[in-house]
Amino acid sequence: MIKMFEYFGAHSSQIWKLTLEHIEMTAIAVCIAVLIGVPLGILISYVRKLDKPVLGLANVVQAIPSMALLGLAIPLLGIGVLPAIVMVIIYSLLPIVKNTYTGISGIDPLMVEAANGIGLTPRQVLTKVKIPMALPVIMAGVRISAVTAVGLMTMAAFIGAGGLGYLVFAGIRTTNNYQILAGAIPACILALLVDFLMGLVEKLVTPISLQKSGGLSRKQMKRKRRREKLTLGTAVVLICAIIVGGAVNSRLAGREKEITVGGKDFTEQLILVNLYSDYIEAHTDIHCVRKENLGGSQVCYQALKKGDIDMYVDYTGTLYGSVLKHDGTDDMEGVYNTCVKEMKKKNISLTQQCAFNNTYTLAVSKQIAKKYNLETIRDLVRKSSQLHLGCTLEFQNRHDCIDALKKAYPSLKFKKISAMDGSPRFVALDNKEVDVIDAFATDGMLMKYHLKVLKDEDHVFPPYYAVPCFNSDTLKKYPELQRVVDELAPKLTDEVMMKLNYQVDVQGKEPKDVARAFLEQENLI
Amino acid sequence: MIQLIDVTKAFKNNVVLDGISMDFRDGELTVLIGPSGCGKTTTLKMINRLIPATGGRILIDGEDIESIDKVKLRRNMGYVIQQGGLFPHMTIRQNIEIIEKLEGKDEYQILKNTERLMEMVDMDAGKFLDRYPSELSGGQQQRIGVIRALANDPDYVLLDEPFSALDPLTRSSLQDELSDLHRKMGKTMIFVTHDMDEAIKIADRICIMKDGRILQYDTPEEILRRPANDFVANFVGANRIWGSPKFIRVEDFMIRHPVTCDASLSAERCITKLTMRHVDTLLVTGKEGQLLGIVNRKSLYANHRPDKPAGEIMLPPKCTAHPEDSILDVLKMIDRTDASNVPVVDALGRVVGLLTNSNLVSTLSRQYLEDMTEEVRGND
């Protein structure tokens, strides 16, 4: 508990910044959802033929998993704030549309007839009678949407839009529970706060006449209302200030020479983003925007292609097998050269590859290794029918991982395969829930859990040398980057990366600090 | 003037109005009445174009309403519905002034007008204007509904069963107030109801409808006294007239062709005539049939000369009635003069009938006796 507060204290500025980001994005998304949803709800309450298709569609969209929606949004909208906001808008629409529709069509027909009969124009019937009368119901929908949006917005971090989800994601990757809580607790508080504020709005738009007095006199109710208005007004002003402040900030920041450095969502990538950003900033006048935790390879690759990020570090094997769809090969130079050549066609330039080879390996605990006498992957194949594999989703689905293994060893058949997220598989192995896991060769967790790495004698897994990938346009704009990045590449060896990963994963240091400390130690900056 | 010319209305194959034609006279309060489904509300709503007509034409001062802008038409036509149709999210003031505000009238005049209207329905402006409809009783809400309809000073006011949801006492006082407002403001009003008492109480003219047709369109008195057919008679109810005794005329229940005699008839022959005709009284008439006096059994027996002519024995009548006098007038007269027989004479003094005590008793008792027969029937 005390450690948690210490963590919160040490990272308060980051938590605060992410909270503001979170509020900003949520507020924008909900506002836009209201601007779309309310007119849409009104429309379908007038054009009755549309109500079923529209509500049906909104229901279907609501049922799509948010991860899937984000994945689908990347090729169209890229990464960052825009797709995150779009996703939240899409999810927020249903309650708003539905409540608006219900509110408007639920008005006593006698009331509408009276409004028409005394000579209001159709527009006046809508604005003076229907909307005011439906407003409490509409606001209830907005309230549901807003509260959901706060929670949903944590997904934004998955595509590099920041927000409190960043802490949650980063915390899961680095098995740092305090970091997870640092994201989750403010998100909860925010959701409760939004619920409270929207509840006030809901109450305020309900005419006094339609409210339950709860034993209060008219005067007391009026006084209470004034207080509620004041609270709400303050909140609205604050939120506006945050949005305007954010906009001004990003505009000011946008004037400098600037590139965006992206990274995938595991420890090594977090360190690499900071290593490269710090190094580039130290040796050029270019400012680096760090976009860490961008999901997997596909997210980064699509973002780079779209120009949402200017560079990220990928691995030759990944590019070769997963992006370019070639079969595995052990020729380190051949893989690299093919990648350079073929990525060029996709407007992506590769600089010199790093010295470390973070290839896939399979790891087991010392006990298992001893029990089954495992040294190499070949040994493992023989015993595979007795072993339970816990691996990442990527490992299970990538063409050059489990498929490559099966191709090399047709007799391979695990007792069971459980796909899970990155860090939990170490915990699962430690708890003996699984027997074998996939791992990266430089993974600090291997050191933490004292795992046995099985040798890959047959070179089943392609070489995974880290290689900085640039959007070719960025390199053209800032040619100096090529030289700077090439300088750093040979410095990053297997030992260095393993050590840095260990410092983050096991010693619980911040990737940012670890990167900086290394660069300073080595006199690189 | 609003004119309906051969107006029909059909919802799909269901004919609701079957070619009705009628005029609503300016300044009159016309009541549309009939059993449910007769088309009275449809007729009303076609006049302010809430429901489009299937066929025929509706004219306002000769102009087809189809050619008048809907909103303009309705703003010149107050509209009151059940429970007033007040907007619950607006204060009383906002409810009353909504159309005036939209019309962009002068603020000060709106203010004055609202206060004047509140005064007309006897409600305290300072106390009520800032309240919401839910804070008012049903009767108060409906009063506001009525004055909202009058606020924009329309030429016409349409009322669709406005008082039907109110308790009898409130309803009755609102009916009085509406009649009062109608008299003071002289608006043309069209009022839909299914309550015959209400219709008779407030209407200048009643239109009885059934199955999309007009059965009778006349003044309340005519409808009470001369129902056009059995349905109307039944709908009006045989006893309804007792609710409005001012409409019961002497001519409706007097004895026609009473027994008369010439002034020259002898006392002896007068007695014979009395006995033969089983009456107590003879009306003595002159050559033109004008009433000269009355002889009765008592005065004839008191006279000892059998050949004395009636003209010398007769007494002047204590009072006389005219055929168009109401039963109320007659009862008052009898009470004052203690007469047992009241001859009925026309404007020239000629005898046209006679009212006797027994005749009055049987007439007055008819309402109770008929009630009883109805009750018996109801128990079957």
Task: Give the separation between CA A191 and CA B88, rounded to whole angstroms.
Answer: 33
Q: What is the pLDDT of residue B370?
A: 59
Tell me whether A127 touches chain B (CB under 8 Å): no
Q: Which residue of B has its CA nearest to A205?
A: B89
> Average pLDDT for residues B63-83, to the nearest whole number?
90
Q: What is the pLDDT of residue A212?
A: 61
Residue found under tokens 């209060």: A216
Cross-chain residue pair A118–B98, CB shorter than 8 Å: yes
Q: Report the side by side order of strands in the sheet with A451-453.
A: A416-420, A388-392, A436-440, A360-365, A451-453
Helices A51-63 and A12-46 cross at an angle (nearest 10°) of 160
- CA atoms A395, A397, A401, A406: torsion sign: positive
Q: What is the pLDDT of residue B311?
A: 83
B88, B98, B149 ranked by CB distance to A207: nearest: B88
In this predicted model, which residue has the larger pLDDT, A221 or A276? A276
Judge if ipTM > 0.90.
no
Cross-chain residue pair B87–A120, CB shorter than 8 Å: no
Chain B contact residues (CB < 8 Å to A)? 45, 48, 50, 71-75, 77-79, 81-83, 85-90, 98-99, 102, 132-135, 148-149, 152, 158
Q: What is the pLDDT of residue B47?
A: 93
Q: What are phi and psi of A380, to 5 degrees?
A: -65, -40
Number of neighbours of residue B227 by Cβ within 10 angstroms: 21
B50, B134, B135 ranked by CB distance to A116: nearest: B50
> Average pLDDT for residues B143-156, to the nearest whole number?
91
Name the DSSP class of B210.
Answer: E
A110, A113, A210 ranked by CB distance to B89: nearest: A210
A121 chain-B contacts, CB cut-off 8 A: 71
DSSP string of A290-356? Answer: EE----SHHHHHHHHHHTSSSEEEEEHHIIIIIIS-PPP---HHHHHHHHHHHHHHTTEEE-PPPS-
Give residue-wise pLDDT tens across range A94-142. Answer: 899 999 999 999 898 889 999 999 999 999 999 999 999 999 899 999 9
Q: Give the residue from B314, B366, B318 showing the smallest Cα distance to B341.
A: B318
- CA atoms A345, A348, A352, A358: torsion sign: negative
Distance from CA of B87 to the nearest CA of A (A): 7
Superfamily designation of domain B2-238: P-loop containing nucleotide triphosphate hydrolases (3.40.50.300)
B183-216 b/e (C-beta count within 10 Å ≥ 16 → b): eeeebbbbbbbbebbbbbbbbbbbbbbbebebbb
B72, B85, B135 ranked by CB distance to A110: nearest: B85
Task: Give the separation between CA A103 and CA A139, rounded to whole angstroms.
Answer: 10
B73 chain-A contacts, CB cut-off 8 A: 119
Look over chain B and give the mean of its residue pLDDT values, rounded to a whole number.
86
A210 chain-B contacts, CB cut-off 8 A: 88-89, 134
A119, A128, A210 ranked by CB distance to B71: nearest: A119
Q: What is the pLDDT of residue A466?
A: 92
| A249-to-A244, A252, A254, A287, B217 alpha-carbon distances in Å | 8, 5, 8, 15, 79
Q: What is the pLDDT of residue A224?
A: 79
Q: Which residue of A has its CA nearest to B94?
A: A128
Q: Is it the case that residue A329 has pLDDT exceeding 80?
A: no
Q: Is it the case that residue B378 has pLDDT exceeding 60?
A: no
Q: Take residue A125 and report the two structure tokens written for it.
A: 């019937």
> Average pLDDT for residues A323-347, to the nearest whole number?
82
> Average pLDDT for residues B317-334, to the nearest whole number?
85
Q: Is it the case that residue A5 has pLDDT exceeding 70?
A: yes
B48, B98, B135 ranked by CB distance to A117: nearest: B48
Is B187 in contact with B27 (CB distance < 8 Å)?
yes
Task: Give the separation between CA B367 and CA B343, rounded to whole angstroms.
Answer: 24
- The residues of chain B that CATH labels 3.40.50.300 are 2-238
| CATH number, span B251-362 | 3.10.580.10
Q: Which residue of A has its CA nearest to B71?
A: A119
State the pLDDT confidence band at A215, using cuts at 50, 70 and 90.
Answer: low
> Average pLDDT for residues A360-386, to the nearest whole number?
90
Q: Is it the case that residue B380 has pLDDT exceeding 50?
A: no
Alpha-carbon Rg for chain B, nearest whole angstrom, is: 28
In this predicted model, which residue has the larger pLDDT, B77 or A308? B77
Q: What is the pLDDT of residue B28?
A: 93
Give residue-wise pLDDT tens across range B190-234. Answer: 999 988 889 988 999 999 999 989 999 999 888 888 888 888 888
Task: Give the separation between CA A246 and CA A360, rounded to whole angstroms.
Answer: 41
* A93-107, A325-339, A462-476, B341-355: segment of lowest average pLDDT: A325-339
Task: Give the separation between CA A74 and CA A356, rounded to whole angstroms.
Answer: 30
Is B87 in contact with B96 (CB distance < 8 Å)?
no
In the stretch 172-211 of chain A, residues with CB closer than 8 A to chain B read: 207-210
Is residue A366 exposed (0-12), middle (13-18) or buried (19+ Cβ within 10 Å)? exposed
- The residues of chain B that CATH labels 3.10.580.10 are 251-362
Name the DSSP class of A126.
Answer: I
Cross-chain residue pair A114–B71, CB shorter than 8 Å: no
Three-state DSSP class for A164? coil
State the pLDDT confidence band at A172, using cuts at 50, 70 and 90.
Answer: confident
Give residue-wise pLDDT tens across range B43-52. Answer: 999 999 999 9
Largest CA distance in chain B: 92
Contacts of A226 (CB under 8 A, 6+ apart): none
Tell me whether A125 touches chain B (CB under 8 Å): no
Give residue-wise pLDDT tens across range A407-421. Answer: 888 888 889 988 887
> Average pLDDT for residues B371-379, to the nearest whole number?
44
Cross-chain residue pair B98–A116, CB shorter than 8 Å: no
| A349-to-A165, A189, A323 alpha-carbon distances in Å | 31, 44, 14
Three-state DSSP class for A4? helix
The residue of B87, B134, B158 whose CB has the most chain A CBs within 10 angstroms, and thus the best one to mutate to test that interface, is B87
| B15-to-A271, A475, B45, B47 alpha-carbon distances in Å | 82, 81, 16, 18
Q: Give the residue from B249, B226, B250, B262 showing the smallest Cα distance to B353.
A: B250
> Average pLDDT for residues A450-464, to the nearest whole number?
85
| A39-to-A36, A96, A99, A100, B363 alpha-carbon distances in Å | 6, 10, 12, 8, 70
What percent of chain B is predicted at pLDDT more than 70?
Answer: 96
Name the DSSP class of A491.
Answer: G
